Amino acid sequence: MVRVSSPGKVILFGEHAVVYGHPAVAVAVKARTEVDVYPASDEGQTTVNGELIDGYRHKHLLLAHELLSKGSPMRFRIRSRVPSTMGLGSSSALTIASAGGILALDGDVDPEKLAQFAFEIEYKAGGKASPLDTSTSIAGGAVALLPESESGFLWQIEKDGIRWCAHSCPVPSASLVIGYTGNKSRTHELVGKVGKLAKAHGFVAEIFKDIGRIALVGLRALQQGDMNEVGVQMNRNHELLSMVGVSNNDLDRLVEAAKPHSYGAKLTGKGGGGSMIALTDEPELVAEAIRREGGKPMEFDWDTQGFEIVRTEG
Ligand code: PMV
């Protein structure tokens, strides 16, 4: 048996645009998914928390099992503390923990190999995607995806002529407050919708380029520890995301409420519901402002620990 764990994440800069190869930054948060993987006897069946694996409820897990198990049945036990459908990367954390757990049955896990497999699984599960969430869940801390490699390089992933080079970068020196709107968001639908919009309207491609530029300026500010500039770029990023239609009134209201007490605030992840984030030195005031606007505030610490083999038995 192996027990592995991996964190969820928030996106500081560049969601959606990163799917088309533009720069982006995400940071792991202390909300983790833990998976135990047991090799079952050859006649046994693959189960998840005691029930037969099912392609609807356990899509990512099934894909990981098909890709990596060489046909051997396995038993999985999942405990997730990453809230789902809030834009906190719950499906990526599960993909990493389950694919990493299967690989860990054979010994140490090569993070680069895991990153390649995990992206393949995410891509098969939902079509167009970027390796931002999965790379962050593997590496922990803050991860920047860039088209070219520079210092802090971790690994690179290529698909459909797009290259993403993953890099480790500094975690923000501010507290994180997440504001959940109360409405679920559906990544694949929304990524597909934005894709259609991008094909039909040249201006969306231009906005994605601008988001990429903002992500790069934001990254440099993060590397210099300039939280004021990080915040300015987050606010600009939110405005551009609104222009491509992935924000909504609830998200905009929570972002505006958080701003007076924050370095910056923006929606995080796919949008269309889900959550916003604020970076702040006054987390209580931000949480109160979010609550006043009808949102659900949550505080999470940054998590510098990425994918981890917690225990091996037998
Ligand atoms: O909301 P999440 O955690 O699924 O983040 C999605 C981020 C996107 O850029 C919209 C998609 C992707 O694969 O990068």
How far is the C-alpha of 55 from the C-alpha of 249, rounded, in Å? 34
105/210 same-domain check: no
Q: How many domains does the chain have?
A: 2
Place of tokens 């694996």: 53
Q: Concatenate the DSSP letters of all residues of 121-181 into one string.
A: HHHHHHSS--SHHHHHHHH-SEEEEESS--TTEEEEEEETTEEEEEEEEPPPSSEEEEEE-
- Looking at residue 70, its pLDDT comes to 83
Residue 49 shares a structural domain with residue 86? yes
Q: Output phi, psi for 54, to 5 deg.
A: -135, 130
Statement to judge: residues 126 and 243 lie in one domain: no
Are 312 and 303 in contact by the 8 Å Cβ rule? The answer is no
60 and 106, same domain (yes or no): yes
Within this chain, do residues 8 and 151 fall inside the same structural domain, yes or no? yes
Q: Taking a C-beta distance cutoff of 8 angstroms, is the pair 105, 75 a contact?
A: no
Residue type, 289: A
Q: Are residues 238 and 214 part of one domain?
A: yes
Any ligand 1 atom below 6 A from CB of 58: no
Ligand 1 centroid to Cα of residue 154, in Å, is: 20
CATH at residue 262: 3.30.70.890
- What's the CA-to-centroid distance between 289 and ligand 1, angstroms? 26
Cα distances from 131 to residues 21, 166, 184, 195, in angstroms, run 10, 9, 22, 17
- Determine what percent of the chain is predicted with pLDDT higher than 70: 97
The token pair that represents 147 in the structure block: 């088209």
Question: What's residue 161's pLDDT?
Answer: 95
H or E element: which one contains 33?
A: strand 24-39
**Are 138 and 273 in a shared domain?**
no
Q: Is the pLDDT of residue 42 over 80?
A: no
Mean pLDDT across the chain: 93
191 and 281 in a single domain? The answer is yes
* Alpha carbon of 277 to ligand 1 centroid (Å): 14
Degrees, nearest 5: CA angle 152-307-281? 70
- Could you tell me the distance, in angstroms and rounded to a whole number, from the CA of residue 268 to the centre of ligand 1? 9
Q: Is the beta carbon of 18 within 6 A of some atom in ligand 1?
A: yes
90 CB under 6 A from ligand 1? no
Cα(225)–Cα(228) distance, integer angstroms: 9
Is residue 215 a contact partner of residue 22, using CB atoms and an 8 Å limit? yes
157-180 per-position pLDDT tens digit: 999 999 999 999 999 999 999 999
Pocket probe mutation, ligand 1, options 187, 197, 241, 266, max atoms within 8 Å of Cβ:
187
Mutate to test the pocket of ligand 1, among 12, 92, 133, 134 (most ligand atoms within 8 A of CB): 133
pLDDT of residue 189: 66
Q: Is the CB of 82 under 6 A from ligand 1?
A: no
**Both 49 and 120 in a single domain?**
yes
Protein residue closest via CA to atom 13 of ligand 1? 129
Of 6, 13, 15, 277, the one to substitute when testing ligand 1's pocket (max ligand atoms within 8 A of C-beta) is 15
Q: Which range is least confidently modeled, 5-19, 43-57, 105-119, 195-209?
A: 195-209
Return the pLDDT at 71: 81
Q: Are residues 275 and 206 in the same domain?
A: yes
Locate the ligand 1 atom nearest the alpha carbon of residue 185 and give its number.
1
Residues 194, 281 within the same domain: yes
Q: How far apart are CA 160 and CA 148, in angstroms?
A: 16
Tell me what percent of the residues of the chain surpass a pLDDT of 90: 80
CA of 16 to the centre of ligand 1 (A): 7
List the domain range (segments joined by +) for residue 62: 2-170+303-312
Q: pLDDT tens digit string along 294-312?
A: 999 999 999 999 999 999 9
The set of residues, in sequence order, having a beta carbon less than 8 Å from that of 41 and lying 6+ positions away, is 73
Q: What is the distance in A from the centroid of ligand 1 to the CA of 195?
A: 13
- Test site for ligand 1: of 10, 12, 16, most ligand atoms within 8 A of the Cβ: 16
Q: Is the CB of 269 under 6 A from ligand 1?
A: yes
- Index of the ligand 1 atom closest to the CA of residue 274: 1
| CATH code, domain with 165 | 3.30.230.10
Place of tokens 């992500």: 215
Determine the average pLDDT of the residues in 97-125: 95
Question: Once rounded to an integer, what is the mean pLDDT over residues 228-240?
Answer: 98
Residues 210 and 161 in one domain: no
